[in-house]
Amino acid sequence: MYLGKPDINSYEKGADREYFISNGNKNYSFNTIIGANTRKNHGLYVSFDNVKSKLLVHVAKIEEIINIDGKKYNLSTNKYLNSVFPEGYRYLQEFYTNPFPVFLYVIHSVMIKKTILMPPDSDVLLVNYEIISSPNAIEIEIRPLMAHREVDLKIASSQDRNFQVFQIHDNLMISSDMTSTFLNITSGVWSGSNKTYENIIYDKDELEGDSFVDKYWSAGYFSIKATEGKAFSFIVSKNEINLDFDSIRKIENKTRLSVNKSSYNLRGKTLNDLTRDLMSSASCLIHKENGIYSIISGYPSFQENSFNTFMSLPGLLLSSDKIEIADKIFDKWIGLSKANNGVVPLSVDEKSHASPSGDAGLVLVYSLGKYVDKVGSIDKIKLNWNEIKSFMDNYFEENDRIGLTQDDSGLLRLIDNNYRSDWMNSKINNQYIVNRKGYLIESNAFFYNALKTMEMFSLELDDKSSALFYSNNAKQVASSLLDVFWNVDGAFLCDWVDGGYQEKTIRPNQIFAISLPYTALSPDKGVAVLQNCWNHLYTTFGLRSLDPRDDHFKGRFEGRSDQRLKARYRGMAWPWLLGQFISAFMRYYPKRPDIALTFTRPFVSHLSRGCLGGVAEFFDGTMPYNPHGDFLSALSVGELLRVLDEDLLEFDRL
């Protein structure tokens, strides 16, 4: 990723582009490339507090002032209520990733390179500086601005945090009633000088209708005298720091080497820029803590749930051959289901285990099927066969903890229409935004796929009785699915059916009936469903959640918080659904990868705006197609990587 002066020569351009890095251990650094915080979840150093189970913004940002021949130049940029000050973006010459974020500042003949990195499995953030060019000696001031608040706190009360400053060995500790932050520098002196920065404006939060005014507190600044060739590091951690400059250089080189080679080459094939950038972002969504791996839903949602994990796992892990990590994640969730009486829970949070888990077990089987296809071995299935059959058995019984049960038609139906766990189950005032009852199309598409996958597993394991059981059930589902869901007049699959009533609103959930590895539809009906989604739901960055011709359609994510929540399921475009759409397209048009590639190309542009290299959770369903939700989404990144690997890797580069 490279951005030159024309890409970043104004506040608007620079504030619209953000870098994001993570250490894979629930810590991250996220900001605009010009250093202006535009979201409350921006922060130079953000860390997960295990006691509070919250992400905390430790250091919001740093102010950097360069003193050249008695004149001061501020590299920082802030947006206040009535102004942008200072305008440090004017000195930013270029930004690129190598793979870390690198900033080159140019002030006349002085050139300063700054690199930000977070070593894996460490709580340390490093900001490395190098004076590339300077005819004379200069002085640099680095002032950390502290937030000490939760990332989702509406307005920071910095002045009420009771900040205190302590010298701990060679570290400076900034302590408050929220947390403690350790600061250090490899060269320079500290000058105490308390200062409060008030009325900081978060542009992005203001546009989203959220609270958008904040304030920071600073205890002082580090001062460094430098000449051409000098290099030094500013260090931040939530724990005491004990690093010298030589150690930091070794860490930087080790971190650089640890970047997976698959970011550039996969199975002997050079990757295009889109795939490479997505793989780099994917690494930020895989976390490891105490040897236990997890896939988080995205930033800032930062959740670990079963549906997101198993829908995104094939792309985030299998596409880059990270088989060992996938193994451990499967083992963890199979263990959770075993401890939960055979029910795959909604999330790792024990509070969710009592909630109906819906499709979770079916999506786990889908993901296991992808795993077996990738590794070419049935060993993991053999090792966990009883557990896998156990959580499939729940769908043949009326188990309230699943919320779905098979009836005489062979299809799955909701046990109680008031308790749903599908992805469109959000509520306002205890009322579902999207009314869905009875039989849900995507649940039955996943059910059919799971039955066929289990049949395949059974045959591989020579479990003939199980193979016959799953085969017979799959045949019944295939027959009933068309009888129940097929809309003859419109030639598409209804979103839900209850008591003979067919919901004929066109929604994207029907795509799963033709995109998953096993489909119950004949080719002619499959093509009809594909064309229906293409004509009425497809847009630049995904499939819309609702047909634009519907009276309830809402194409932009704007208005009050309840209106924005409604918009998610009434017209927003979802990139993860586009992955399924492309798989369906390649099923019926395998000789037209040129068209399939055009569906992915808009993301090349998206990766150079917003969160650089990442894909947002959803977009406006109409122009201007602005991104919303998580700025980095596991489902979005995972599904695009999956389809690029499974369906398009062998074709021409983007």
Is the domain of 201 the same as that of 265?
no
Distance CA 453, CA 466 (A): 12
Higher-scoring residue by pLDDT: 155, 347: 347
Give per-residue pLDDT as tens, 36-67.
Answer: 999 999 999 999 998 888 899 999 999 999 99
Higher-scoring residue by pLDDT: 468, 155: 468
Angstrom CA distances, 382 to 375, 386, 387, 459, stand at 14, 8, 10, 11
Q: Which two tokens stand for residue 105?
A: 């500042």
Q: What is the pLDDT of residue 268?
A: 57
Q: Name 404's bridge partners.
A: 414
300 belongs to a structural domain = no
The answer for residues whose C-beta is within 8 angstroms of residue 205's C-beta and 6 or more apart is 38, 39, 40, 211, 212
Is the domain of 197 the same as that of 117?
yes
Torsion of CA 572, 576, 577, 581, to 10 degrees: 130
Helix spans in 266-322 (H): 273-282, 306-316
Mean pLDDT of 526-553: 98
Is the domain of 146 the same as that of 271?
no
Angstrom CA distances, 99 to 252, 279, 578, stand at 11, 12, 28
Exposed (0-12), middle (13-18) or buried (19+): which is 625, by Cβ within 10 Å?
A: middle
Mean pLDDT of 288-296: 91
Angstrom CA distances, 328 to 26, 115, 364, stand at 18, 33, 14
| Residue % of the chain over a pLDDT of 90 | 78
Distance CA 147, CA 64 (A): 17
Is the domain of 286 the same as that of 208?
no
Distance CA 32, CA 17 (A): 6
Identify the domain boundary among 245, 269, 301.
245
Could you give the angle at the alpha carbon of 481 between the alpha carbons of 447 and 457, nearest 5°? 30
- Residue pair 40/24 in contact by the 8 Å Cβ criterion: no
43 belongs to a structural domain = yes
Mean pLDDT of 562-575: 97
Q: What is the pLDDT of residue 284?
A: 92
Is the domain of 114 the same as that of 37?
yes
Ramachandran category for residue 49: left, alpha or beta (phi over 0 → left; psi -120 to 50 → alpha): beta
Q: Which of 194-208, 310-324, 365-379, 491-505 has the lowest mean pLDDT?
A: 194-208
In the chain, what's the furthest Cα-to-Cα distance?
85
Q: Which two tokens stand for residue 153?
A: 């706190």
Q: Which two tokens stand for residue 407?
A: 């009836």
Is the domain of 212 the same as that of 268?
no
Q: Which two tokens stand for residue 473?
A: 């059930």
Q: What is the pLDDT of residue 249?
A: 81
- Residue pair 558/619 in contact by the 8 Å Cβ criterion: no
Mean pLDDT of 106-112: 98
- Residue pair 326/318 in contact by the 8 Å Cβ criterion: yes
Question: pLDDT-derived band of residue 269, with 50, 70 and 90 as boundaries?
Answer: low
575 belongs to a structural domain = yes
Q: Where would I find the beta strands (DSSP E) of 302-377? A: none
With H, G, I as helix, E, B as strand and everything else as coil, classify residue 400.
Answer: coil
C-beta neighbour count of 528 within 10 angstroms: 19
Give the pairing of strands 265-266 and 138-150: unpaired
Q: What is the pLDDT of residue 156?
A: 52
In total, how many domains does the chain have? Answer: 2
Quote the crossing angle between the two packed helices 441-460 and 360-375, to the nearest 10°. 40
Q: What is the pLDDT of residue 258?
A: 65
Question: pLDDT-derived band of residue 18, with 50, 70 and 90 as boundaries?
Answer: very high
CA end-to-end span of the chain, whole Å? 15
Q: Which of 101-105, 207-211, 316-320, 379-383 has the lowest mean pLDDT?
A: 207-211
496 belongs to a structural domain = no
Is the domain of 185 the same as that of 282?
no
On average, the pLDDT of the chain sits at 93
Mean pLDDT of 473-481: 98
Mean pLDDT of 171-191: 95
What are the contacts of 601-608 at 24+ separation with CB within 8 A?
601/274, 601/654, 602/540, 602/541, 603/274, 603/541, 603/575, 603/640, 604/273, 604/274, 604/654, 606/541, 607/1, 607/274, 607/277, 607/278, 608/1, 608/3, 608/7, 608/17
Angstrom CA distances, 367 to 32, 214, 324, 330, stand at 35, 43, 15, 9
Q: Which of 297-301, 345-349, 434-438, 509-513 has the lowest mean pLDDT?
A: 345-349
Does the structure show a pLDDT above 60 at 157? no
Does the structure show a pLDDT above 80 at 537? yes
Identify the domain boundary among 212, 245, 278.
245
Is the domain of 197 the same as that of 282?
no
The count of residues in the chain is: 654
Distance CA 264, CA 268 (A): 10
Distance CA 334, CA 176 (A): 41
Give per-residue pLDDT as tens, 85-98.
Answer: 999 999 999 999 87
Does the structure show a pLDDT above 90 at 270? no
C-beta neighbour count of 80 within 10 angstroms: 13
Angstrom CA distances, 301 to 123, 254, 268, 298, 633, stand at 21, 30, 36, 6, 9
Give per-residue pLDDT as tens, 323-334.
Answer: 999 999 999 999
Give per-residue pLDDT as tens, 64-82.
Answer: 999 999 999 999 999 998 8
Does the structure show a pLDDT above 70 at 445? yes
Is the domain of 164 the same as that of 275?
no
Is the domain of 135 the same as that of 271?
no
444 belongs to a structural domain = no
Does the structure show a pLDDT above 60 at 136? yes
CA 163, distance to chain mean position in Å, is 33
Q: Name 632's bridge partners.
A: 299
Is the domain of 127 the same as that of 265?
no
User: pTM score, two decimals?
Assistant: 0.93
Distance CA 507, CA 525 (A): 17
Q: Tell me which residue of 148, 200, 195 sits closest to 38, measured CA to CA.
A: 200
Give per-residue pLDDT as tens, 305-362.
Answer: 999 999 999 999 999 999 999 999 999 999 999 998 899 998 887 666 667 789 999 9
608 belongs to a structural domain = yes
Identify the domain boundary among 184, 218, 245.
245
- Residue pair 211/106 in contact by the 8 Å Cβ criterion: no
Phi then psi for residue 320, to 5 deg, are -110, 15
Does the structure show a pLDDT above 60 at 159? no
Mean pLDDT of 556-567: 94
44 belongs to a structural domain = yes
Can you give the residue range of the structural domain that contains 268?
259-290+537-654
Q: Give the helix/strand (H/E) hosting 176.
A: none
Does the structure show a pLDDT above 90 at 579? yes
Q: Which of 81-95, 194-208, 264-278 has the lowest mean pLDDT?
A: 264-278
| Residue % of the chain over a pLDDT of 70 | 95
373 belongs to a structural domain = no
Does the structure show a pLDDT above 70 at 652? no
What CATH number is given to the structural domain containing 175?
2.70.98
Question: pLDDT-derived band of residue 262, with 50, 70 and 90 as boundaries?
Answer: very low
Residue 272 is classified by DSSP as P
Is the domain of 236 the same as that of 283?
no
